[in-house]
Structure 1
Amino acid sequence: MPVHITTDGIVLRERAIDEFDCVLTLLTRERGIISAYARGAKKPRGTLRVPAELLSYSCFVLFSNRERYSVDKADLDTVFMGVRGDVEKLSLASYFCELTAQVAPREENADGYLRLLLNTLYLLDTGKRACGFLKPVYELRLLTMAGFMPNLVACTGCGCYEAEEMFFLPQSAQLACGECVRSFPADQVRLPLGRGVLAAMRHILYSEAEKLFSFSLPGPALARLEEVCECYTVTQLERRFDTLDFYRTMKGSVNG
């Protein structure tokens, strides 16, 4: 039965289908990931022009008919200008959007996913947290919410909480101490974790949402955390992301 629904949402992707119209991929609070037809969104003076842009967060009025959606109205809330004006931040935010579109639920409540993305974009937008900090936090927390939560409680072999050497196994999503890791096949990827990196990963998994970003690591450990979380994301989802490759390129050009 055709109905109108009102929901908060953020644009994860926009795809033009002709000169003035486009299809939006939205992360919405009540319906999760949906595709919505936006008529006239590309018109220079159209009311949907800004709300239909990537990263625009709005209150959408959607017409729904047989799980097909079209945008009737959108009241713009936030556009994250600090992200849009920085090529490195924008490339990272685009990766967050592509990753979210891949794993967030469809046609069901996604309030937690929306809050995570908005909080992360706020910190990125205001510069309160650096790209290199936000990237691994978002990756690991998002995957955990989507059902890819690794077991970081203890070594999968002997059950020890912490040993002199600890390794993360991205394929099986487990921990192994230096002794037990020897029993795994030699070709299985194993990533050594320092104490600080392991503690940070546990914090990302198990902390309350309000405390998610409340930790710090020195530069080398943070870089290692970023490597481990990216490897885990790519391994578990079994795919590459064009936006991730672009972010790496932009990060290299900015830091080079």
Structure 2
Amino acid sequence: MLEKVEGVVIRTRDYGESNKVVTLFTRERGKMAAMARGAKKPKSRLGAATQPFTLGQYLCFAGSGMATLSQADILASHYSIRSDLTLASYAAYLAELLDKLTGEKEPAPELYELLLTTFRMLEKGVDPEILSRIFELKVLEAAGYRPRLDGCIACGKADLPVRFSVRQGGFLCRKCQDRDPRALTLSPAAARILKTLQRITPDRLGDIQVKDETKAQLERAVRSFVDEYADLKLKSRDFLDRLKRDWT
């Protein structure tokens, strides 16, 4: 059966001398894998459309096994992301996180729109660190892991939090901060921004300016939460972290 889907290439791997297995995150069917026969050949009509981060319309033959790509039309190549090592590293991390935390053929239109919007914002020059925190929080929430950021996880009060407890899953106020000695300290700015990032989408971010020390606190809090509850080993994140260390 032939089926046309709109999707983004989030992962590829070589298969034999000339083929690729492409993982698409699609609007209609969620995540799906498809064989792109001959895509590695120089003159293949599927070559450009199966590059990482490409948005396209794909005509697939879906049978009982893996789908086969028979035709593809590029809607947005996202070449500016692929051609920039920094942007490509962030995009690869976000794509791998999405891949690891979603199941096959489970439609998730909100995550599909999140992916499209995040890539557009990366191309517009929006801070990739802040975009990554939004993306992480949204994907975690869709997977069933949502930290409580609207009040103290222990007493419920909405007083300005002072610590983030990974173990208990949210903010701790000054009165309750001793409930978790390993909770992470947050500045007032980091707490406010973290709460905001959980609520907004990337296109509503605006021209936000965040100090480096605040970004570091945000990264530590969200990354620690990812590691605790999702327990993922992400090669792209390791590469991104090495790249960031080289900048300093």
Q: 1:23 to 1:222 in 2, by over 3 A?
A: same
AA in 2 matched with 1:201: L
2:199 counterpart of 1:206: yes
Contact 1:104 1:113 in 2 (8 A): no
Q: In the aligned structure 1, how far is the partner of 2:105 from the partner of 2:226?
A: 24
- Measured after TM superposition, the shift of residue 141 of structure 1 is 2.0
> Equivalences for 1:139-158 in 2 at 5 Å?
139-158=136-155
Displacement after TM superposition at 1:221 (Å):
1.4
Residue 218 (structure 1) shift: 2.8
* 1:126-163 C-alpha deviation (Å, 9 max, x unpaired): 31x12222221221122122221111121122222124
2:225 is matched with which residue? Answer: 232
Q: In the TM superposition, what are the counterparts of 1:74-223 in structure 2 within 5 Å? A: 74-127=72-125, 129-163=126-160, 166-184=162-180, 186=181, 189-207=182-200, 210-212=203-205, 215-223=208-216
The answer on 1:66 being equivalent to 2:59 is no
| Cα distance, 1:213–1:168 mapped onto 2, change above 3 Å | farther
**1:238 partner amino acid:** D
Residue 222 of structure 2 aligns with an amino acid whose one-letter code is C
Distance verdict in 2 for CA 1:212–1:67, change over 3 Å:
farther
For residues 158-217 of structure 1, what are the alpha-carbon distances to aligned partners after superposition, in whole Å with 9 as ceiling and x for unaligned? Answer: 222124x52111233122123213234x4xx31112222222222222236752567543
Secondary structure, counterpart of 1:243 in structure 2: helix
Q: 1:14 aligns with which of 12, 34, 42?
A: 12
Letter in 1 for 2:57: C
Structure 1 length-normalised TM: 0.89
Query: Residues 132 and 223 of structure 1 are in contact (CA less than 8 Å); yes or no, is this contact kept in structure 2?
Result: no
Deviations 1:42-79 (A, max 9, x none): 11110000111111111011111125311111101112
Consecutive unaligned residues in structure 1, runs of 5 or more: none
**TM-score, normalisation: structure 2:** 0.92
Cα distance 1:67–1:153, how it changes in 2: closer, same or farther (>3 A)? farther
Q: SS at the partner of 2:151?
A: strand
Q: Note the aligned Cα RMSD (angstroms).
A: 1.9
Which residue identity does 2:136 align to in structure 1? E
Aligned to 2:236: 243
Map of 2:245 onto structure 1: 252
Question: Does the 8 Å contact 1:87/1:250 carry over to 2?
Answer: no
How many pairs were matched up? Answer: 248
3-state secondary structure, aligned to 2:48: coil
One-letter amino acid of the counterpart of residue 26, structure 2:
T
Assess if the C-alpha contact under 8 Å between 1:6 and 1:62 holds in 2.
Answer: yes
- Mean Cα displacement is larger for which, 15-24 or 106-115? 106-115
Please give the per-residue CA displacement for 1:76-121, whole angstroms capped at 9, x wherever unaligned: 1112122112111111111111101011343132221111111111
8 Å Cα contact 1:13-1:54 kept in structure 2: yes
Matched, 1:57 2:55: yes
1:228 shift after superposition: 1.5
Q: State the secondary structure of the residue aligned to 1:73.
A: strand
Question: Where does the alignment leave 5 or more consecutive residues of structure 2 unmatched?
Answer: none
